[in-house]
Structure 1
Amino acid sequence: MAGASVASELAGTYRVLLAEREGQPGYHTTGRSAALFSETYGPPQIRALSRASRAFFDGPPTGFAAAPILSPRGVLTVARPDQIEALERELATFPVGEKIRRVSPAEASALMPLMRDGYVAGAIHDTSARDIDVHALHQGYLRQFRAAGGRLETGAEILGIERDGATWRIRTSNLEIRAAIVVNAAGAWADEIGVMAGANRIGLVPKRRTALIIAAPDGVQIGPWPMVVDVDEEFYLKPDAGRFLISPADETPSAPCDAQPEELDVAICIDRIEKAFDFPVQRVENKWAGLRSFVADKTPVAGFEPGLPGFFWLAGQGGYGIQTAPALSRFAAALVAGKNPPADIIDEGVIPTALSPARFRA
Structure 2
Amino acid sequence: FWTETYGGPLVTPLTSASRAFLDNPPKDFSETSFLRPRGAINIGREDQEDLADQFLADFADSGLAMERWSWEKSISLSPDLKPVWKHAIYEPECCDIDVAALHAAYLRDAKRKSVELICRAPVTNIRKKDDAWELVAGDEMYRATILINAAGAWADSVARMAGAKPVGIQPYIRNMVQIESDPPSSPDMPLVVGLDGSFYFKPEAGGGYWISPHDELPTEPCDVAPDELSIAIAIDRFEKAVDVEVKRVTRKWAGLRSFAPDRLPVIGFDSKVADFFWFAGQGGFGIQTAPAAAKLGGAALLGRAADASLHAVDAGLYAASRFR
The interval holding the TM-score normalised by the smaller chain is over 0.9
CA RMSD of aligned residues (A): 1.5
Q: How does 1:136-175 map to 2 (within 5 A)?
A: 136-175=101-140
Letter in 1 for 2:290: A
Q: How does 1:199-210 map to 2 (within 5 A)?
A: 199-210=164-175
Separation (CA, whole Å) in 2 of partners of 1:343 and 1:357: 22
Q: Does 1:240 align with 2:180?
A: no
Q: Which of residues 98, 103, 108 is equivalent to 2:69?
A: 103
Q: Which of residues 54, 68, 82 is equivalent to 2:19?
A: 54
Which ranges of structure 2 fall in alignment gaps of 5 or more residues?
Answer: none
Separation (CA, whole Å) in 2 of partners of 1:98 and 1:136: 27
Q: Which of residues 240, 257, 263 is equivalent to 1:292?
A: 257
Separation (CA, whole Å) in 2 of partners of 1:137 and 1:319: 16
Count matched residues: 322
Q: Does 1:121 align with 2:89?
A: no
Preserved contact between residue 162 and residue 197 of structure 1 (Cα < 8 Å): yes
Give how far 1:80 is off.
0.4
Q: Which of residues 89, 92, 96 is equivalent to 1:131?
A: 96
Which contiguous aligned blocks of 4+ residues in structure 1 show a shift greater than 6 angstroms? none
- Equivalence for 1:228: 192
Give how far 1:206 is off.
0.5
Cα deviation code 1:16-52 (max 9, x no counterpart)? xxxxxxxxxxxxxxxxxxxx11112223331010111
Preserved contact between residue 185 and residue 204 of structure 2 (Cα < 8 Å): no
- Equivalence for 1:25: none
- Equivalence for 2:321: 358
Q: Does 1:93 align with 2:30?
A: no
Change (3 A) 1:257 1:201: same
Preserved contact between residue 43 and residue 299 of structure 1 (Cα < 8 Å): no
Q: Which of residues 285, 294, 308 is equivalent to 1:320?
A: 285
Preserved contact between residue 99 and residue 126 of structure 1 (Cα < 8 Å): yes
Give how far 1:101 is off.
0.3
Separation (CA, whole Å) in 1 of partners of 2:296 and 2:135: 25
Q: Does 1:262 align with 2:190?
A: no
Change (3 A) 1:217 1:97: farther
Letter in 2 for 1:190: A
Q: Identity rate of aligned residues, in percent?
A: 42
Q: Which of residues 177, 180, 189 is equivalent to 1:212?
A: 177
TM-score, normalised to structure 1, is: 0.86
Preserved contact between residue 77 and residue 123 of structure 1 (Cα < 8 Å): yes
Letter in 2 for 1:232: D
Preserved contact between residue 186 and residue 193 of structure 1 (Cα < 8 Å): yes
TM-score, normalised to structure 2, is: 0.95
Preserved contact between residue 207 and residue 251 of structure 1 (Cα < 8 Å): yes
Change (3 A) 1:284 1:183: same
Preserved contact between residue 81 and residue 121 of structure 1 (Cα < 8 Å): yes
Letter in 1 for 2:215: D
Q: Does 1:179 align with 2:168?
A: no
Separation (CA, whole Å) in 2 of partners of 1:94 and 1:54: 18
Q: Which of residues 10, 33, 42 is equivalent to 1:68?
A: 33
Cα deviation code 1:143-198 (max 9, x no counterpart)? 11111111111112111111111110000013210001111111100100011100
Letter in 1 for 2:314: I
Q: Does 1:307 align with 2:272?
A: yes
Per chain length, whose mean CA-contact separation is higher, i.e. which structure has more relative contact order (CA < 8 Å, sep 6+)?
1
Give how far 1:359 is off.
1.1
